[in-house]
Amino acid sequence: MNQKMELENKTVGEFLFDCLKNEGVTEIFGVPGDFNFSLLDTLEKYEDIQFINGRNELNAGYAADAYARLRGLSAMITTFGVGEMSACNSVAGAYSENVPLIHIAGSPKSQEQQEKKLLHHTLMDGDFDVFHRMYEQITIYSAKVTPENAALEIPKAINMAKVHQKPVYLVMAIDQVTEKVVPHLEAEEDAKTTSSASLHQAGEHAQALLSQAKNAVILTDNMAYRKRLGGKVKELAEGMNAPVAALMQGKGGFDETHPFFIGVYSGEFGDENVRRIVEEADVIISVGLIRSDMNMAKYTASLDSARMIDIHPEFTKIGAAQYMNLMAEDMLEALAGIKFTQEAPEPARFPYEEVTEFQEEPIQAKYYYPRIQKMLKSQDILVVETGTFTYGMSQIRLPKGADYIAQGGWQSIGYATPAAFGASVAAKDRRVILFTGDGSLQLTVQEISSMLANGCKPIIFVLNNQGYTIEKYLNVQVEIEKQDYNDIPLWNYTKLTEVFGGEAYTAAVKTMGELDSAIEAAEQQDQLAIIELQTSESMDAPEYLKKMREMLEKQKQQSE
């Protein structure tokens, strides 16, 4: 049966799900609402994709975000207006973090929209395009899908999400989802290809720079991870004998068990040896670098552009020159072909290699981060919340095949719990470990209910440090003890699964001995586990955060 005949027998909804199925999507997240009923009814009958009902649209978006990071693409369905506005923070986060997510919104009947009727879930002004216009600002592509354009718009949107690693937005009227697709010849997408002239010029420039160098270092970041360039970077590193460091937003994109991996480069706040190797290198080869305040450690990082070969997905910068239409894969291969080698880097030392065995020591960052690193296994999925965990976990050395999920750029507090749910759905045969704080968990705790309802069994570490410790560290304008607005209500976190009607292993620990016992017990369970780390000192934090606080205080003093 040719494509035209297939389309003639497909509704808009069926065609949408066929396209998603072809991309490997087997679950779609979302929340039902009266304007997306036709989408959900169609999906209910569709055998190859399951609808995963979230507790709210924001959480569904976070779950879809993590799913896409592991599977390459995800989808979410919301209702018009209230649903899509609840989800927009998660979509903006996907845009900031370079995550390919398809957001599908069900809208009112087409006739009602044409008549500008005042309907619920609207702004009561007859404008049915207002939310579409909003989403244009936080997606790489958006479209109002109709039976006449579905055959063109749906594949185009999916392709845009994959190529640009960004979210896209599709809105569909409830009555048109069940109408037949009007056939079109498949649109040919412009394939991204490398300009041979750019590749030649960039290769010569890189060769000239390297010919004057004695040593080089490689930095990997966000887009190297998203574009799965770790293998190419590994080949380059081994050919050059070059040490490799990750940036905070790109952690997990390179095999951290590789002998050439030296750690995470974090300016003045991270490991001093990593900083020395990176900043003293004659040439720095960066892959997917984002010069954000997070990656640049509040701009204490010192990366000299004149000594950099700065590779991006579709262009490369070398010094002041910029070479366009140059795909990262091709530039990495060109560099691998340049004759340059140096002495192999010495084995690196990592911050959390030594585990303190004192059983009665209270829960403190300097003790529990090494213990966490010790428990990690190959293929684990680590989901890390924004907060003190962000900075401590960045220095963890990941085991082979592990994935690291965190919002290094968007940093929306509450992201990690629903993201851990999405990761559990995406990779049912892998262990998911969630690291979240008490304040963050209180924002999106409902998704523990979704985990239980869907048979997910992550290990959840809840750091109970009596409030928003990260905010207390970052706010140097007032004395720490006076920040009452950063305090939160005290919850009994180990009782949460009882509230949500499920069973789990739970433990509240105050000493390192109790933590050791809890980890051992959790790993033997075939169920969800919650381990609450109860700190006696609310300002306990990893060294990275303490160094950042010192710098902020110095800056405050200098400005007074």
pLDDT in tens, 240-285: 999 999 999 999 999 999 999 999 999 999 999 999 999 999 999 9
Element containing residue 434 per DSSP (H, E): strand 432-437
392/264 Cα distance (integer angstroms): 11
Let me know if residue 318 belongs to a domain: yes
Let me know if residue 548 belongs to a domain: yes
How far from 513 is each of 220, 499, 516, 540, CA to CA, in Å? 37, 28, 5, 18
pLDDT (0 to 100) of residue 559: 74
pLDDT (0 to 100) of residue 2: 43
Answer whether residue 537 shows pLDDT above 50.
yes
pLDDT (0 to 100) of residue 372: 96
Q: Are 245 and 263 in contact (CB under 8 A)?
A: yes
Let me know if residue 181 belongs to a domain: no
* Beta-sheet strands, E only, within 36-152: 50-53, 74-79, 101-107, 141-145
Answer whether residue 229 shows pLDDT above 50.
yes
User: Each residue of 202-232: b (16+ CB within 10 Å) or e?
Assistant: bbebbeebbeeeebbbbbbbbbbbbbebbeb
Q: How many residues does the chain have?
A: 560
If asked whether residues 48 and 131 sit together in one domain, one would say yes
If asked whether residues 169 and 203 sit together in one domain, one would say no
> Which domain CATH number covers 52?
3.40.50.970
317/540 Cα distance (integer angstroms): 41
State phi, psi for 323 to the nearest 5 degrees: -110, 110
If asked whether residues 34 and 164 sit together in one domain, one would say yes
Ramachandran class of 288: left when φ > 0, alpha when ψ lies in -120 to 50, beta otherwise: left
Q: Please provide the average confidence, as pLDDT, over all residues in the chain.
A: 93
pLDDT grade for 548, boundaries at 50, 70 and 90: confident
506/493 Cα distance (integer angstroms): 9
Let me know if residue 179 belongs to a domain: no
Q: Note the pLDDT tens digit of each residue in 9-36.
A: 899 999 999 999 999 999 999 999 999 9
pLDDT grade for 8, boundaries at 50, 70 and 90: low
pLDDT (0 to 100) of residue 481: 62
Using a 10 angstrom Cβ sphere, with 0-12 exposed, 13-18 middle and 19 or more buried, the burial of residue 441 is buried
pLDDT (0 to 100) of residue 412: 95
> What tokens does 455 get?
């048979």
- Average pLDDT, integer, range 431-439: 96
If asked whether residues 381 and 316 sit together in one domain, one would say no
> Which domain CATH number covers 262?
3.40.50.1220
If asked whether residues 33 and 137 sit together in one domain, one would say yes
If asked whether residues 236 and 108 sit together in one domain, one would say no
If asked whether residues 224 and 319 sit together in one domain, one would say yes
If asked whether residues 373 and 443 sit together in one domain, one would say yes
146/184 Cα distance (integer angstroms): 13
If asked whether residues 315 and 403 sit together in one domain, one would say no
Residues 6+ apart with CB under 8 A from 298: 267, 269, 548, 551, 552
Residue type, 103: H
Element containing residue 508 per DSSP (H, E): strand 505-509
Let me know if residue 497 belongs to a domain: yes
Answer whether residue 3 shows pLDDT above 60.
no
If asked whether residues 320 and 388 sit together in one domain, one would say no
pLDDT (0 to 100) of residue 479: 66
pLDDT (0 to 100) of residue 251: 96
pLDDT (0 to 100) of residue 234: 96
If asked whether residues 265 and 371 sit together in one domain, one would say no
Let me know if residue 46 belongs to a domain: yes
Residue 78: domain span? 3-173
Let me know if residue 523 belongs to a domain: yes
pLDDT (0 to 100) of residue 184: 75
Q: What is the dihedral sign for C-alpha 78, 80, 82, 87? A: positive
If asked whether residues 78 and 159 sit together in one domain, one would say yes
Answer whether residue 361 shows pLDDT above 60.
yes
Radius of gyration over alpha carbons of the chain, in Å?
25
Answer whether residue 472 shows pLDDT above 90.
no
Residues 6+ apart with CB under 8 A from 376: 382, 396, 398, 399, 402, 433
Let me know if residue 500 belongs to a domain: yes
Give me the half-sphere count of Cα atoms (radius 13 Å) on the Cβ side of residue 218: 30
pLDDT (0 to 100) of residue 549: 85
Angle (CA) 326 331 335, round 5°: 155
pLDDT (0 to 100) of residue 190: 60
Show which of 336, 357, 385 is a domain's final residue.
Answer: 336
62/72 Cα distance (integer angstroms): 15
* Beta-sheet strands, E only, within 247-363: 261-264, 283-287, 308-311, 315-318, 321-324
pLDDT (0 to 100) of residue 5: 45
Q: What is the dihedral sign for C-alpha 409, 415, 420, 421? A: negative
Answer whether residue 41 shows pLDDT above 70.
yes
Answer whether residue 1 shows pLDDT above 50.
no
Q: Are 99 and 409 in contact (CB under 8 A)?
A: no
Q: Are 140 and 156 in contact (CB under 8 A)?
A: no
The domain tally of the chain equals 3
300/307 Cα distance (integer angstroms): 18
